[in-house]
Structure 1
Amino acid sequence: MLTTDKRIKKKNSGWKGIAVIGMITILIVIALRIFLFASFKIPSLSMEPTLLAGDFILVNKLIPGPRIDFLGNKETNSIFRVPGLRAIQRKDVLVFNDPYYQSKVIVRNWNAHYVKRCIGLPGDTLSIKNGNCFISNDSTTAVVRKYQDENRLAIASTQYDTPRMFKSLGWTVHNFGSIYIPRKGDRITLDSVNRHIYARLIEYETDKKMTEMDGLFYLDTDLCSAYTFQKNYYFMAGDNSSDSKDSRYWGLLPEDHIVGKVSYVWKSIDPNSNKYRFDRFFKSLDE
């Protein structure tokens, strides 16, 4: 028969075991969220019909690799990313941080997230002509998507037809570019046209202000006739092109803003009826 002291020790030992298991479970969950997966809820219609408002998505951080934010180097304006399974591919659906969150310059706000499809990769030259998006690069030239749809074409010219960032170039959402998407190491000569395309990217990478004076370009006070990019960039688009503010409006996405690739819809709730959409449970985006 156990004495009172032995009973107390056994009870305390049991609680300690439960506490240890609980802490290990918490650490495993934290590690999974940092290195492997994240979950987000879709709030809008911009990715219909692929993703619906009320979908809960599972994001695979192993593509392109988990970003460890607290290990970044503030002095060089660089992040730390663990090598992943593969690089971003065209047509991947990605979750990324809003590069222009409440700002006219690129910011690092890791709390604001978007989900769009990647249609332009580093090294591509992209243009949209009469609603058809063309991609050309070292190996191919192809139409990768159509921006023309009945809803959009039925709308007369509005403030949204002319992207504010590219207004000075005369581009519209249906006639856009051409625009070269920089890859790390690319060197681009600056002129009066591509200054409008790349100035904010260069300012983000250098943390300096670009100005133009007498046809010459300066970063702060340093003359800058050409620039070598330090990061890869991507062109992102919503599947529901008539209701998507994407790279046609705010420009190219820096690679360090990417969280990961959307793999599954693991749960879905209709926001109008609050009913489960069971047919969307564990729906793969790789189908």
Structure 2
Amino acid sequence: MNFPLIMLIALVVTGVIWLFDIYALKPRRAAGAKEPLLVEYSKSFFPVILVVFMLRSFLVEPFKIPSGSMMPTLLVGDFILVNKYTYGIRLPVANKKIIDIASPKNGDVMVFRYPEDPSLDYIKRVVGVPGDKISYQNKQLTINGKPLKIESLGNYSYVKSGLNFVNANLISEQLGEHNHQTLVQPEAPVLRLGDVRQFSNRENCAYNNEGFTCTVPQGHYFMMGDNRDDSNDSRYWGFVPDRNIVGKAFMIWWNFDDLKRIGKSID
């Protein structure tokens, strides 16, 4: 479902009906005559739709986390807010950037349109910006030849809705300005080679049984989930073009299962 497009259509339809009434129907109505029901509804809903459309298009947009690919940073059931203008002002629906403000940085948690199906929104962490050489070998992430600083924080346990990570290692990782936590499952393979697809700029990557090395092309970003051994990300379907960017995740605003997570910032 293309919700922004649906909202745009609703905005245009209600606005046109309201204007048509003002300039064509109202002058012909008898004094004191009741407005048509369709006009009444349009006048009521147009301002609400306009405010919501502007907020979602240019300021903040809510999303719900559907999977465990960003654990432990984000949990299934987290409702998050995404800043829509951090990386520039974009036209609604077309998603074309019209004002450039800033570019994604390594470590940012970013929402973007899935390259293989732009109707789907994905959320991952930026681990490579244009020009970066990304290497993930034996579960160690290296950027431009420098291994990231990591620290083991012990065992991580989480069981919910079939998700079971009692055997995962919790790792502290420094990526750019962000110090965040990731999960590593010792017995899981570094890479599922059979799941790697053909994608644009595939020639920029080299894969083997121990991992991969990719050079990020201009205008693109390399994304990975914090749940490193259970994330469908750029390792498998490639780079995210700038035109697919939606915004930067910055806060958890609700979680029905854990109210303590409300208001938690996303780093």
| 1:86 aligned partner | 102
CA contact (8 A) 2:90 2:99 kept: no
Maintained 8 Å contact 1:41/1:57: yes
Q: Give 1:279's match in structure 2, choosing from 247, 260, 266.
A: 260
Deviation at 1:126, TM superposition (A): 1.3
Residue 148 of structure 2 is aligned to residue 144 of structure 1: yes
TM-score between the two structures when normalised by the length of structure 1: 0.60
> CA contact under 8 A between 1:37 and 1:59: conserved in structure 2?
yes
How far, CA to CA, are the matches of 1:133 and 1:172 in structure 2?
A: 15
The Cα of 1:256 is off from its aligned counterpart by: 0.8
In 2, Cα distance between the equivalents of 1:144 and 1:68? 36
Kindly state the Cα deviation for residue 97 of structure 1 after the two structures are TM-superposed: 1.1
**Aligned position for 1:63:** 86
Amino acid corresponding to residue 112 of structure 1 in structure 2: L
Specify the alignment match of 2:138 in structure 1: 130
Alignment CA distance shift 1:248-1:278 (3 Å): same
SS in 2 for 1:241: coil
Identical counterparts, % of pairs: 36
1:75-106 Cα deviation digits (max 9, x unpaired): xxxx52132542111111011111113xxxxx
2:65 to 42, 46, 57: 42
In 2, the alpha carbon distance for the partners of 1:158 and 1:68 equals: 39
Q: Who is 1:120 aligned against?
A: 128
Q: How far apart are the structure 1 equivalents of 2:56 and 2:70?
A: 24
Q: Which amino acid aligns with 1:34?
A: S
Q: TM-score, normalised by structure 2?
A: 0.64
CA distance in 2, matches of 1:261, 1:174: 31
Distance 1:51 1:38 in 2: 17
Q: Is the 1:162–1:173 contact (alpha carbons within 8 Å) kept by the matching residues of 2? A: no
Q: 1:21 to 1:175 in 2, by over 3 A?
A: same
- Note closer, same or farther for the CA distance 1:241–1:18 as it changes in structure 2 (3 Å cut): same
1:29 aligns with 2:62: no
Does the C-alpha gap of structure 1 residues 173 and 90 become closer, same or farther in structure 2, counting only changes over 3 Å? farther
The Cα shift of 1:65 comes to 2.0
> 1:213 maps to what in 2?
none
- How far 1:161 sits from its partner (Å)? 4.8
Q: Name the count of aligned residue pairs.
A: 200
Checking the alignment, whether the CA contact within 8 Å between 1:123 and 1:182 is kept in structure 2 is yes
Amino acid corresponding to residue 124 of structure 2 in structure 1: K
Counterpart for residue 182 of structure 1: 217
Where in structure 2 are there 5+ consecutive unaligned residues?
A: 1-30, 153-167, 170-183
Aligned: 1:153 with 2:176: no
Asked whether 1:242 is paired with 2:229, we answer yes
Counterpart amino acid of residue 236 in structure 2: Y
Relative distance call for 1:173 and 1:246 in structure 2 (3 A) is: farther
